[in-house]
């Protein structure tokens, strides 16, 4: 009996031990499982923390305790990231508090931030704003949000901070560029609106893109958008736009196209010129738009008609003058001539009616031996042709012909080309030569006289004098230039009359005697006694002769 009991006790003991071993093994397996789970939780937590630390934005987190705690505010834990501590320059580093963060901003910005955080913690309102760091120009974008679990359990409120100084600078630069571009666009719009004729821009489909104020006025509509949306074209005739046809031609040819047309405005007929200039849209050679404008040429056409009528009248007058005239047009062909031109060069009507070129005229005149001899006729012709297109003012020269005549030639620019005027000055030059010869002879005679002689015109200006006069009054040649008047010449004599008390009265007395032809004597300081003999001519000019009578001896 005892043995059986012992046997049962031993069996029970073994079962208990085995049960305990099983329980221990199960517990160990469960502990290992939880340890593994804790390990992965810690690893994930570390990874999340590192992800947060490596973020570009710094943060300050308000971590709340479990909701079973009655007063959440007492259990809040503040955690500051390394990035935020560096960004704001916080002295306490990651141990910094929200108060430390607020002190990094200016007082007003700190007040705003505190208000944002209060609303976030009390009501869960997210926020975002840009604040300025104290003692610098750096800007920080601060934004806050609440983080909750799927079960609405409150985890934390977090404030994120990002340095946006460079972005703000770029934004400011872009805003300045936008403002500048807008001002430039407004300036360009004012410029094209200031143009006093219709102006427009077309796209590659020849639809209107832009118009100016004058175009709007011509269209009769209220605003530019209405004109563009309705594609209102100028110069419509039964729905067919003359202007758009010109634009199509410019687009097709890729060249500027012009066309004149008439249009009725306000009950009056006007003459216009359309011009369409092609351009490549977005620098794409396959897309061609146009820029066009409409110019009112009504007044210009009237002026042209008036000019043509006046020109014909002038040509009729030139045809009757004795001076030889000819007009050669821009292509150097004879456009007009008068009979004096024909007779001067000995040309026949048949040759002139064929409207010869200027070179043909020169060749013909040379054949008649009426052209001045030149060593290189080819170079001469090139020089003569240079006046066409290169003449801006009247040129004058002399042509010495082989038959002894001297022709004065004028070349003047003309709307149709160049006007040539020829005047035979042979007799005039011969007369001038004879006059010059007589003048030279007169001067020779005067210079060989012993007496001093000086001659004045009717206007009392000096005309001539001899060397004896210069010697008598110790004058040099320069003082006698520019035809000085009698009064100035008499003033040069003052040096010889220092004993005269009233020189002005003395001078006026001399001038009166001279102009009235009365003879008188002069006694100079050097005791030279001079007889003055004026002679007044019929035309009012006069001659004065100074004769030295005697030289008195000193006292």
Rounded Cα gap, residues 251 and 253, in angstroms: 6
Instruction: Give CA 516 to chain center in angstroms.
Output: 68
pLDDT of amino acid 519: 92
Kind plus residue range of the DSSP H or E element containing 51: helix 2-54
pLDDT of amino acid 239: 47
Contact 250, 274 (CB under 8 A): no
In the sheet with 288-296, reading across from the earlier edge strand, the strands are: 208-211, 199-202, 288-296, 268-280, 257-265
Contact 274, 258 (CB under 8 A): yes
Tell me the Cα Rg of the chain: 57
Rounded Cα gap, residues 144 and 402, in angstroms: 109
pLDDT of amino acid 197: 83
From the candidate CATH numbers 3.40.50.1820, 3.40.50.150, 3.40.630.30, 3.30.450.20, the one assigned to the domain spanning 57-168? 3.30.450.20
Task: Look at the domain 310-424 and name its fold.
Answer: Beta-Lactamase (3.30.450)
In the sheet with 139-148, reading across from the earlier edge strand, the strands are: 77-80, 58-63, 154-163, 139-148, 127-132
Rounded Cα gap, residues 477 and 392, in angstroms: 40
Kind plus residue range of the DSSP H or E element containing 2: helix 2-54
Rounded Cα gap, residues 33 and 156, in angstroms: 30
Cite the beta strand spans of 391-512 per DSSP E: 395-400, 406-414, 417-424, 452-456, 462-465
Helix (H, G, I), strand (E, B) or coil at 181: helix
pLDDT of amino acid 105: 93
Superfamily of domain 196-296: PAS domain (3.30.450.20)
Would you tell me how many other CB atoms lie within 10 Å of the CB of residue 521? 10
Token pair of 186 as six digits: 């407004």
Buried b (16+ CB within 10 A) or exposed e, 154-166: bebbbbbbbbbbe
pLDDT of amino acid 118: 92
Helix (H, G, I), strand (E, B) or coil at 59: strand
Helix (H, G, I), strand (E, B) or coil at 354: coil
Class of the CATH domain delimited by 437-551: alpha beta
- 508-516 long-range contacts, Cβ below 8 Å, gap at least 24? 511/486, 511/487, 514/486, 514/542, 514/544, 515/460, 515/486, 515/542
pLDDT of amino acid 461: 92
Residue 333, phi-psi category: left (phi > 0), alpha (psi -120 to 50), beta (remainder) = beta
Where does residue 499 rank: exposed (0-12), middle (13-18), buried (19+ CB within 10 A)? Answer: exposed
Q: C-alpha dihedral over 391, 395, 400, 402, to 10 degrees?
A: 30
Q: For residue 110, which phi and psi values (nearest 5 degrees)? A: -65, -40
Low pLDDT (below 70) residues in the chain? 1-2, 40-42, 44-55, 66-74, 235-240, 264-268, 298-322, 429-431, 435, 438-439, 441, 443, 550-555
pLDDT of amino acid 55: 66
Q: What is the 3-state secondary structure (H, E, C) of 111-125?
A: HHHHHHHHHHHHHCC
Helix (H, G, I), strand (E, B) or coil at 206: coil
Helix (H, G, I), strand (E, B) or coil at 13: helix
pLDDT of amino acid 262: 76
HSE of 503, CA atoms in CB hemisphere, 13 A: 12
The neighbouring-strand residues paired with 200 are: 211, 292
At a CB cut-off of 8 Å and minimum separation 6, what does 116 contact?
127, 129, 142, 144
At a CB cut-off of 8 Å and minimum separation 6, what does 331 contact?
357, 417
Let me know how long the chain is.
555
Positive or negative CA dihedral for 59, 65, 66, 71?
Answer: negative
């Amino acid at each position: 009996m005892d043995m059986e009991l012992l046997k049962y006790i031993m069996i029970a003991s073994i079962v208990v031990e085995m049960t305990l071993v099983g329980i221990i093994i199960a517990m160990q397996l469960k502990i290992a499982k939880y340890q593994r789970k804790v390990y992965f939780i810690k690893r994930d937590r570390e990874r999340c923390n590192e992800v947060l630390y490596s973020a570009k934005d710094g943060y300050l987190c308000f971590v709340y305790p479990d909701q079973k705690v009655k007063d959440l505010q007492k259990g809040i834990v503040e955690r500051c990231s390394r990035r935020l501590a560096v960004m704001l320059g916080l002295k306490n580093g990651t141990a910094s508090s929200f108060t430390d963060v607020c002190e990094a901003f200016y007082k007003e910005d700190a007040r705003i931030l505190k208000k944002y955080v209060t609303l976030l913690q009390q009501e869960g309102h997210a926020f975002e704003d840009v604040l300025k760091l104290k003692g610098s120009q750096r800007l920080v974008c601060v934004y806050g949000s609440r983080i909750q679990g799927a079960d609405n359990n409150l985890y934390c409120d977090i404030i994120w901070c990002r340095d946006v100084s460079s972005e703000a600078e770029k934004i400011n630069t872009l805003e300045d560029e936008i403002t500048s571009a807008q001002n430039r666009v407004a300036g360009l719009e004012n410029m094209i609106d200031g143009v006093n004729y219709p102006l427009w821009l077309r796209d590659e489909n020849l639809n209107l893109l832009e118009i100016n104020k004058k175009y709007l006025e011509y269209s009769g509509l209220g605003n530019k958008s209405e004109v563009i949306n309705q594609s209102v074209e100028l110069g419509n005739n039964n729905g067919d736009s003359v202007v758009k046809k010109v634009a199509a031609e410019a687009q097709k040819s890729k060249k500027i196209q012009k066309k004149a047309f008439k249009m009725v405005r306000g009950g009056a007929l006007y003459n216009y010129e359309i011009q369409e200039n092609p351009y490549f849209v977005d620098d794409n050679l396959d897309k061609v738009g146009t820029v066009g404008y409409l110019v009112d040429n009504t007044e210009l056409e009237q002026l042209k008609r008036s000019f043509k009528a006046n020109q014909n009248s002038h040509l009729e007058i030139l045809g009757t003058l004795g001076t030889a005239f000819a007009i050669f047009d821009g292509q150097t062909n004879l456009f007009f001539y008068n009979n004096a031109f024909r007779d001067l060069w000995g040309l026949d009507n048949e040759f002139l009616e064929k409207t010869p070129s200027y070179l043909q005229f020169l060749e013909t005149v040379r054949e008649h031996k009426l052209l001045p001899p030149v060593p290189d006729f080819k170079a001469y012709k090139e020089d003569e042709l240079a006046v066409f297109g290169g003449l801006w003012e009247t040129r004058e020269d002399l042509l010495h012909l082989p038959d002894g005549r001297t022709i004065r030639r004028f070349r003047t620019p003309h709307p149709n080309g160049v006007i040539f005027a020829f005047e035979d000055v042979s007799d005039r030059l011969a007369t001038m030569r004879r006059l010059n010869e007589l003048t030279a002879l007169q001067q020779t005679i005067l210079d060989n006289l012993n007496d001093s002689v000086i001659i004045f015109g009717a206007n009392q200006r000096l005309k001539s004098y001899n060397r004896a006069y210069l010697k008598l009054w110790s004058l040099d040649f320069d003082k006698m230039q520019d035809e000085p008047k009698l009064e100035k010449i008499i003033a040069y004599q003052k040096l010889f009359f220092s004993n005269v008390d009233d020189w002005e009265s003395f001078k006026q007395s001399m001038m009166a005697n001279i102009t009235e032809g009365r003879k008188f004597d002069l006694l100079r300081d050097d005791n030279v006694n001079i007889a003055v003999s004026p002679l007044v001519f019929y035309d009012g000019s006069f001659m004065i002769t100074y004769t030295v009578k005697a030289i008195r001896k000193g006292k």
